[in-house]
Structure 1
Amino acid sequence: MKYYFGFLMCLAMGANALDQEIVEEILEEIQRVGVECIKETSAAQSDIAELMAKKMPSTHEGKCMLFCFSKHYNMMNDDGSLVANGIESWEKIKNNDAELYEKIVQIHKTCHDSAVIDEDPCETATGLAKCGMEEARKAGLHEQFAEF
């Protein structure tokens, strides 16, 4: 999400083959979920600024923003455990860009299989986000994310 905020933005901004309508839909959803997650986590403006700058969060609240996105996109459960198959949210991409969809599936599998479950689900979500960004970069989804 779809590896969380940065990865979601990567898909929306970097997937040139997607119809503009789908990109706009993804960005609108990210914004809507972001507003919900700010309320849920009490994240500060500085936390949001880090995420918008495509940087991993430095505060617990920022990391919990990633957990909130992970729950919304059915990657993690409320208890911090991983959802076995959390790619359903991206089915709309499958018909529009099957190659991109397959990359997402592979990134999900790689990160899910290598995930380290921390007792703090916000830390787990951050680890998954890092993995997602690294794998997205390796898959050539977006060069802007090399700093991860």
Structure 2
Amino acid sequence: MKSFYSFVLIFGILLSNALALTPEEKHEAEKKILDECKGSVGATNNDVNSILERKTPTEYKGKCLLKCAHEKIGLIQDGKFSIDSFKAFGEKELGNDMKAVGVFNEMLDACKSITDPDLCEASAKMMDCMIKEGLKRGVDPKKGIKESIASN
């Protein structure tokens, strides 16, 4: 499943080696890191599947699952989101598609002030914001930013 929102989940894996991965391999890489986090936060397979389906977690364990993935891949640094890491991901994931990078950066700019002292809650709020901002710009969370823009 090729999706723009994979960056919300598994940025580090994608940053380090996913540019050459097929959509199926990206999906498996996302699932792997979520499965690694699942036990440490007491999340379920349903929590993993929900995130893979690009649904913002509503249960606290699902939110903490998302936070764990964000921490593992370096998007949370010093107790807050690293906007620089987000931007670097977007540029690498979207390559030289400047229109897609521009849309990504607009979405990120709209969401960069997301904060919450509870990083589990902050992770879910960030995912929710990026999905909503993407939808405002015609991005289907399941198709991805490039595919959504290309079909407009």
Length-normalised TM-score, structure 2: 0.67
Which amino acid is 1:39 matched to?
G
Evaluate the alpha carbon distance shift between residue 122 and residue 103 of structure 1 in structure 2; reply closer, same or farther with a 3 A threshold: same
Give the secondary structure class of the aligned counterpart of 2:76.
coil
The 5 Å alignment of 1:1-148 reads: 4-5=8-9, 21=21, 23-77=23-77, 79-86=78-85, 87-95=87-95, 97-113=97-113, 115=114, 117-142=115-140
Are the counterparts in 1 of residues 31 and 48 from structure 2 also a CA contact under 8 Å?
no
Kindly state the Cα deviation for residue 98 of structure 1 after the two structures are TM-superposed.
2.8
Alpha-carbon distance in structure 1 between the residues aligned to 2:53 and 2:141? 14
Q: Deviations over 1:89-126 (max 9, x none)?
A: 3433343533222222221221013x1x2221101111
Alpha-carbon distance in structure 1 between the residues aligned to 2:39 and 2:30? 14
RMSD (CA atoms): 3.0
Partner of 1:13 in structure 2? Answer: none
Are the counterparts in 2 of residues 70 and 76 from structure 1 also a CA contact under 8 Å?
yes
Evaluate the alpha carbon distance shift between residue 40 and residue 99 of structure 1 in structure 2; reply closer, same or farther with a 3 A threshold: farther
Are the counterparts in 2 of residues 103 and 139 from structure 1 also a CA contact under 8 Å?
yes
Evaluate the alpha carbon distance shift between residue 96 and residue 40 of structure 1 in structure 2; reply closer, same or farther with a 3 A threshold: farther
Length-normalised TM-score, structure 1: 0.69
Kindly state the Cα deviation for residue 67 of structure 1 after the two structures are TM-superposed.
1.0
Are the counterparts in 1 of residues 41 and 64 from structure 2 also a CA contact under 8 Å?
yes
Are the counterparts in 2 of residues 2 and 90 from structure 1 also a CA contact under 8 Å?
no
Kindly state the Cα deviation for residue 41 of structure 1 after the two structures are TM-superposed.
1.9
Are the counterparts in 1 of residues 35 and 48 from structure 2 also a CA contact under 8 Å?
no
Alpha-carbon distance in structure 2 between the residues aligned to 1:143 and 1:29? 18
**Would you say how many aligned residue pairs link Structure 1 and Structure 2?**
131
Give identity over the alignment, percent: 22
Kindly state the Cα deviation for residue 64 of structure 1 after the two structures are TM-superposed.
0.6
